Amino acid sequence: MKKFILAIGLALGLQQAAMAGFAEGATAYNNKNYAAALKEISPLAKAGNPDAQHLLGLMYYMGRGVTQDYKQALEWHRKAALQGKADAQYVVGAMYYTGNAVIQDHKQAVTWFRKAAEQGHPDAQQALGLMYRYHMAGMPQDNVIAYMLWNLAAANGSMNAAEQRSAVVKSMTPEQIEEGQALSASWKPNTPLPKQSRTGGG
């Protein structure tokens, strides 16, 4: 099950930020000029820019331009996550899930995955779906919620979620599929995700 968590590579996609300097830092990072990226990103991260904090966290996580340091990675990601940066929330969730640089805590992992998933983060939706499907991390077993989450993640380009959705459908009733479809259709980003379904507990 760890492979779905450590798809942190998928969280590397960087969105353009309005703040001056971040675009240059992100471009330098994407061009593998990590020294230049660090020079641009560090002051922005220290000034509280969540995009810069997330990127600096990734640099520490991957050991790019800095010595690899998971504790620093977690610290910078947590700063960005607390400001609502979904990519950072996903990484913090993954680090709690695997116990990387922090005491393993599945409740914390679920909390952070849910925050990111509720913003429409496909990797977080995929991870949360697995927890519902396989009754992991203290989540109730609920195929309908898993289906809903994978439906949303697949719509946002997650191939893993599309595969998981195809697999779970085989063990669902028509009523459960219908509920999963209805939940997906009615959910809007930045609103709470349902914690259980009407028909899917099992």
Tell me the per-residue pLDDT of 53-64, one tens digit each, with 9 for 90 and over: 999 999 999 999
Instruction: Select the CATH number that applies to the domain covering 1-116 from these four: 3.30.1490.20, 1.25.40.10, 3.40.50.720, 3.20.20.80.
Output: 1.25.40.10
Q: Are 80 and 121 in contact (CB under 8 A)?
A: no
- Domain positions in the chain are 1-116, 118-202
Alpha helix (H) residue ranges in 9-142: 22-30, 34-46, 50-62, 70-82, 86-98, 106-117, 122-133
Stretch 130-135: mean pLDDT = 93
pLDDT classification of 189: cutoffs 50, 70, 90: very high
User: pTM for the whole thing?
Assistant: 0.87
Q: Give whole-number Cα distances, 156 to 18, 119, 129, in Å.
A: 23, 12, 14
pLDDT greater than 70 at residue 65: yes
Over residues 118-129, the pLDDT tens digits come to 999 999 999 999
Q: How confident is the model at residue 202 (pLDDT cuts 50, 70, 90)?
A: low
Question: Percentage of the chain surpassing pLDDT 70?
Answer: 90
Tokens found for residue 150: 């994978």
Closest CA to 145 of 167, 130, 124: 130
Q: Per-residue pLDDT for 190 more than 70? A: yes
Cα atoms in the Cβ-side hemisphere of radius 13 Å centred on 53: 23
Q: For 5-34, what is each residue's pLDDT tens digit? A: 444 443 444 444 445 578 899 999 999 999
The mean pLDDT of the chain is 89
